[in-house]
Amino acid sequence: MDWQNRWHPLLEQWVTISSHRGARPWSGTKADASEMPLVNYDSGCHLCPGNRRISGEMNPDYNAVFVFDNDHPSFDFLAPVPESPGKFYQNSQAAGICRVMCYDPRHQVALSQLSELQVEAVVDNWVEQSCELYQDKQIKTVFIFENRGELVGVSNPHPHCQIYAVPFIVDTIARELAATQRYRQQKNLNLFTQIIQAEEEDGRRILFSDEYWLGFVPYFAKLPYEMYLLPRSDIGDLRDCSKAEIKSLARALKILLTALDQLWNQPQPYILTIHQAPVSESDISDYRCHIQILPMMRAPGLQKFLAGMETGAGQFLNDGSPEEKAVELLQAQRRNSSDS
């Protein structure tokens, strides 16, 4: 049994590990993450090649990665400028750029099911989009994320991610940046380097390691199967990646996401987020681009809900031991290797 509080150095908050709660009785509805039959094309899908989107635009007959401006953007530089709400409350235009990136023309393949070369093409496009969007002097944050599976609210199963470029620093990255700056002031060390060193010294939670990237279940995991990918070099954002680092990242993503699906031989719903250094007047030299994978299942058929403590109090309760979950993911890796 693992029952303790662990310090999350990037968010500067405590996470409670209570692995004994994973065996608690559950009489609620079981989550269904079973895989739908694979089809290459769906005539009703707004993301499939040659189909008409809700905006009226026709998708090209693309055969690789396809990027377009989101037809339902959360942020847009053409959004209306609101009237002032009065003396106390504040508001502003919901300005920014929102794009959709389809990974593949096939309707129901997953990122984990693409070849390593195809995943590399996806990463290349993440880099290209970051390069283009950061050229806009209004943009402070380029945030790329993938929601996979109905359990995380994905509106379309076609394999895709979203890219939000906004004229402010999003909250999580602001908190991480502040943590790196405080750590430099207090210890005169790079916080990300210290995390890598601590994970390698322990060794039990490592899932992927080469000369460019380290993949692991973090000591401070907020969710049972949460995974991080950290670069070994000072990569502030994806624009800093060398070709070798891009190839390594593609391989790491393929291995980690495949292991996740191999856990219980079914597709895992997850949120994948890419954290990049923002444009800031403060010192960003210690910030490192990293990828966070947040699987939303804690056991077969059991969803990890963000309930009262997580949502109301902001206190994450992880009912799985990061060390034990890393072992499960490594075993899934080995099963996949022996099957292939």
Question: Each residue of 7-16: pLDDT tens digit?
Answer: 999 999 999 9
**Alpha carbon distance 77, 167 (integer Å):** 10
Q: Are 149 and 269 in contact (CB under 8 A)?
A: yes
Beta strands in 276-338 (DSSP E): 290-295, 297-299, 302-303, 317-318
Alpha carbon distance 300, 298 (integer Å):
7
Alpha carbons 265 and 113: distance in angstroms, whole number: 13
Q: What number is the average pLDDT over the span 21-36?
A: 63
N-to-C CA span, the chain: 34
Instruction: Please state the domain extents for the chain.
Output: 3-22+32-339
pLDDT of residue 39: 85
What SS3 class is residue 194?
A: helix
What are phi and psi for residue 232, nearest 5 degrees? -80, -25
Rounded distance, CA 169 to CA 278, Å?
Answer: 6
Q: Which of 204, 185, 205, 184 is nearest to 194 (CA)?
A: 184
What fold does the segment set 3-22+32-339 form as a domain? HIT family, subunit A (3.30.428)
Residue-wise pLDDT tens digits, 246-272:
999 999 999 999 999 999 998 999 999
For 224, the token pair is 């049972």
Task: Indicate the pLDDT class of residue 340, thresholds 50, 70 and 90.
Answer: low
Would you call 8 a catalytic residue per the annotation?
no
Give residue-wise pLDDT tens across range 59-96.
Answer: 999 999 999 999 999 999 999 999 999 999 999 999 99
- With both helix axes pointing from N to C terminus, report the angle between 243-262 and 322-339 in degrees, rounded to the nearest 10: 100
Q: Kindly state the DSSP code that residue 136 receives in the 8-state scheme.
A: S
Residue 30 binned pLDDT confidence (cut-offs 50, 70, 90): low
Give me the catalytic one of 8, 160, 275, 290: 160
User: Is 70 exceeded by the pLDDT of residue 26?
Assistant: no
8 Å CB contact between 227 and 216: yes
**3-state SS, residue 129:** helix
* Residue 336: predicted pLDDT: 80
pTM: 0.96
How far is the C-alpha of 161 from the C-alpha of 110, rounded, in Å? 11
